Amino acid sequence: MCGIIGYIGKKQAAPILIESLRKLEYRGYDSSGIGVISSADGKIVFRKNKGKINALCNLLKFSPLPKTTCGVSHTRWATHGAPNRINSHPHVDESGQFLVVHNGIIENYEVLKDSLIKKGHKFLSQTDTEVVPHLIQEYYKGDFLEAVKKAISKLKGAFALGIISSNHPDVLIAVRVGSPLIVGLGKDENFIASDVPAILEHTRRIIYLKDEQIAVLTKERVDVFNFDGTKVKPQVHNVEFKVDCVEKQGFAHFMLKEVHEQPQVIQHMINTRIVRNQLKLDGIGLSDKQLKRINNVVIVACGTAYHAGMVGRYAIELLANVPVAVELSSEFRYRKPIISNKSLVIAISQSGETADTLAAVREAKKRGAKILSICNVLGSSLSRESEGVLYTHAGPEIGVASTKAYTAQICMLYLLSLKLSLVHGTIRSGEFKYLVKKLKEIPALYHQILKDKSNIASIAKRSSHFGCFLFLGRNINYPSALEGALKLKEISYIPAEGYAAGEMKHGPIALIDEYRAVVCVATESDIYDKMISNIQEIRSRRGKVIAIATAGDEQIKNHAANVIYVPKTEQLFTPLTVAIPMQLIAYYIAVKRGCDVDQPRNLAKSVTVE
Closest of 25, 21, 162 to residue 102, by C-alpha = 162
CA distances from residue 222 to 35, 58, 187, 521 in whole angstroms, order as listed: 21, 33, 12, 54
Instruction: Encode 131-167: b = buried (16+ Cβ within 10 Å), e = exposed.
Output: bbbbbbbbbbeeebbebbbbbbebbebbbbbbbbbbe
Q: How many Cβ atoms from other residues are within 10 Å of residue 505's Cβ?
A: 11
The least distance separating ligand G6P from the CB of residue 408, rounded to whole angstroms, comes to 11
Closest of 124, 378, 399 to residue 241, by C-alpha = 378
Name which of residues 346 to 385 contact ligand G6P (CB under 6 A).
349-351, 354, 357
Q: Give the chain's end-to-end CA distance (angstroms, integer).
A: 11
> 68 vs 402, which CB is nearer to ligand G6P?
402
Return d(Cα 538, Cα 275) in angstroms, integer: 46
For the sheet containing 3-8, what is the strand order? 44-50, 31-38, 68-76, 3-8, 190-193, 182-185, 205-208, 237-238
Closest of 472, 451, 456 to residue 543, by C-alpha = 472
Whether the Cβ atoms of residue 578 and residue 477 lie closer than 8 Å to each other: yes
DSSP string, 225-258: EETTS-EE-PPPEE----GGGGS-TT-SSHHHHH
Concerning whether 2 is annotated as a catalytic residue, the answer is yes
Find the binder of ligand G6P among 68, 190, 606, 608 (CB under 6 A).
Answer: 606
Name which of residues 272 to 331 contact ligand G6P (CB under 6 A).
302-305
Concerning whether 605 is annotated as a catalytic residue, the answer is yes
Question: Directed axis angle between helix 109-118 and helix 131-139, to 10°?
Answer: 50
Q: Is 607 in the site for ligand G6P (CB under 6 A)?
A: yes
Q: Which of 2, 70, 302, 595 is catalytic?
A: 2
**323 HSE (CA, 13 A, CB side):** 7
Q: Is 400 in the site for ligand G6P (CB under 6 A)?
A: yes
The least distance separating ligand G6P from the CB of residue 75, rounded to whole angstroms, comes to 15
Q: Is 408 in the site for ligand G6P (CB under 6 A)?
A: no
The least distance separating ligand G6P from the CB of residue 185, rounded to whole angstroms, comes to 26
> 131 vs 494, which CB is nearer to ligand G6P?
494
> 129 vs 357, which CB is nearer to ligand G6P?
357
Return d(Cα 80, Cα 128) in angstroms, integer: 6
Q: Which residue is nearest to ligand G6P (CB)?
A: 303
Closest of 103, 54, 81 to residue 599, by C-alpha = 54
The least distance separating ligand G6P from the CB of residue 201, rounded to whole angstroms, comes to 24
Find the binder of ligand G6P among 22, 23, 257, 605 (CB under 6 A).
Answer: 605
The least distance separating ligand G6P from the CB of residue 357, rounded to whole angstroms, comes to 5
The least distance separating ligand G6P from the CB of residue 383, rounded to whole angstroms, comes to 12
Element spanning 331, H or E: helix 329-332
The least distance separating ligand G6P from the CB of residue 605, rounded to whole angstroms, comes to 6
> 301 vs 423, which CB is nearer to ligand G6P?
301
Name which of residues 585 to 604 contact ligand G6P (CB under 6 A).
603
> 321 vs 602, which CB is nearer to ligand G6P?
602
The phi-psi region of residue 104 (left if phi > 0; otherwise alpha if psi is between -120 and 50; otherwise beta) is left
Q: Which of 370, 404, 487, 605 is catalytic?
A: 605
Is the omega angle on the peptide bond into residue 90 within 30 degrees of 0, that is, cis?
yes
CA angle 209, 383, 18 (to 5 degrees): 45
Name which of residues 208 to 227 contact ligand G6P (CB under 6 A).
none
Return d(Cα 180, Cα 161) in angstroms, integer: 10
> 189 vs 490, which CB is nearer to ligand G6P?
490
Total residues interacting with ligand G6P, rule: CB under 6 A = 15
Phi then psi for residue 406, to 5 deg, are: -65, -50
The least distance separating ligand G6P from the CB of residue 328, rounded to whole angstroms, comes to 10
The least distance separating ligand G6P from the CB of residue 160, rounded to whole angstroms, comes to 16
> 93 vs 497, which CB is nearer to ligand G6P?
497
Q: How many Cβ atoms from other residues are within 10 Å of residue 557's Cβ?
A: 12
Show which residues are catalytic: 2, 605
Q: Interface with ligand G6P by CB under 6 A: which residues?
A: 302-305, 349-351, 354, 357, 400, 402, 603, 605-607
